[in-house]
Chain A
Amino acid sequence: MTKKKKMKPNIKREWCKGCGICVEFCPEDALIMDEMEKAVLAYPDKCTGCMLCELRCPDLAIELV
């Protein structure tokens, strides 16, 4: 039996406007802003796949895959 892979955010950089909402409200502090002011999943191991970043992104730039 294969363990079901947890979904993780995939961030579309061209759509991210760097508002910082996903980073600020990620319950696990898994996301950071990079030097280009784009959100990145810096700590994938911390991510629980809660979806909150995807749901709160005003630019529909995040999709859990």
Chain B
Amino acid sequence: MAVKDYIREKFFPHIWCPGCGHGIIMGGLIRAIETLQKEKNDIVIVSGIGCSSRICGYLDFHTLHTIHGRALAFATGVKLSRPELTVIAPMGDGDAFAIGGNHLIHAARRNIDITAIIMNNNIYGMTGGQYSPSTGYGEFATTAPYSNIDHPFDFVNLAIGAGASFVARTTTYHVTSMIKIIEKAIMHHGFSVVEIMSQCPTYFGRKNKFASAVEMLKYYRDHTTPIGSKDKKNNPDLIERGIFIEKEMPEYCDEYDKIIKMASKGE
């Protein structure tokens, strides 16, 4: 199938600003699903609120556009009732790690088979550029006009610490590896967290002196490096990308099923 077979064309051109990274992530997700040859009917996309969460409107799968920070709560419900479905939750950085931070850590701890895609643009775009939990110390936002004094979360370390069994990071510049990582995350039987660094030229870019989306992509190209590379040793400030954790662990729906069987026998 072609990309157009996976989208609701009547809503295009989409609402995202020129150069917004979220469109690149949507394209990557579509191509990963296309490669995996998943049936459209077997896929459920669950999003919360924010620029990122608009993705639900554009993708032609089963889609749930839910409430702020709660995508994973809805996704957990869907997955527990219909474990055979592929459940993917694309979320923004604030949506996933501020408003929905608790849902995220507990979904990770349970190891429920959901793919969480964090579209991390380091800002709240939809509401006008407020700083988010991934806005860096010293960076700017409409609510941090003199610079941000909060320190950002490292989403990868946080997800690993919470027990996610698949954790990866990539960027919108590195599209081909992004697609492969999303494929692996979807195939992984357990909770997967994929952080994708994504440009918001309109707010994060303007506030932080990036002239354009192109400049932001160049930044991702020049300031990231594959995990464990030589460059990282020479320049510890480089951000690592790739798959950090990929391990087998009992999956929540499987375990829940066992409990049901045990309990029914006990009658």
Q: Which residues of A come within 8 Å of B, CB atoms?
A: 14-15, 17-21, 24-25, 52, 55-61, 63
25 contacts between A and B (CB under 8 A): A19-B19, A20-B19, A20-B212, A21-B213, A21-B217, A25-B173, A25-B214, A25-B217, A52-B176, A55-B24, A55-B27, A55-B176, A55-B179, A56-B24, A56-B172, A56-B175, A58-B19, A58-B24, A58-B27, A58-B172, A59-B13, A59-B14, A59-B23, A60-B23, A63-B2
Q: In the bound complex, what is the Cα–Cα distance between A20 and B2 (angstroms)?
A: 24
* Shortest Cβ distance from residue B172 to the other chain A in the assembled complex, whole angstroms: 8
B18 at the interface (CB under 8 A from A): yes
Q: Which residues of A contact B173 (CB under 8 A)?
A: 25, 56
Please tell me which one of the listed residues B3, B201, B217 contacts residue A60 in the complex, with CB atoms under 8 A apart: B3
Q: A19-B214, A57-B23, A60-B27 are known contacts. Are A52 and B175 too (CB-CB below 8 A)?
A: yes
- Across-interface contacts of B2 in A (CB, < 8 A): 63
A interface: dominant SS: loop
Residue from A52, A58, A63 in contact with B213 in the complex, judged by beta carbons closer than 8 Å: A58
Q: Do the beta carbons of A58 and B31 come within 8 Å of each other?
A: no
Please tell me which one of the listed residues B14, B31, B214 contacts residue A55 in the complex, with CB atoms under 8 A apart: B31
Q: Could you tell me which residues of chain B, from 163 to 207, have a CB within 8 Å of some CB in chain A?
A: 172-173, 175-176, 179, 201
Across chains A and B, the number of contacting residue pairs, with CB separation under 8 Å, is 72
Residue of chain B at shortest CB distance from A55 = B175
Across-interface contacts of A18 in B (CB, < 8 A): 18
- Interface size class for chain B? 20 to 34
Q: How far is the CB of B58 from chain A (nearest CB, A)?
A: 9
- With both chains docked as a complex, state the minimum distance between the C-beta of A52 and any C-beta of chain B, in angstroms: 7
A60 & B18 in contact (Cβ 8 Å cutoff): no
Task: Determine if B12 and A60 form an interchain contact, defined as CB atoms under 8 angstroms apart.
Answer: yes
For residues 1 through 56 of chain B, which have their beta carbon under 8 Å from a beta carbon of chain A?
2-4, 7, 12-14, 16-24, 26-28, 31
Q: Which residues of B contact A25 (CB under 8 A)?
A: 173, 214, 217
Cβ of A57: which chain B residues have Cβ within 8 Å of it?
23-24, 27
Scoring B2, B3, B28, B175 by chain A CB atoms within 10 A of each residue's CB, the highest score goes to B175
**CB contact list, B125-147 vs A, under 8 A:** none
| Complex Cα gap A22–B226 (Å) | 23
Residues of A within 8 A of B201 (CB): 19
A52: which B residues are within 8 A, CB to CB? 175-176
Kindly list 13 other residue pairs between chains A and B, CB separation below 8 angstroms, not including A58-B19, A58-B22, A60-B3: A14-B13, A15-B13, A18-B18, A19-B18, A19-B201, A21-B19, A25-B214, A56-B173, A59-B12, A59-B14, A59-B16, A60-B7, A63-B3
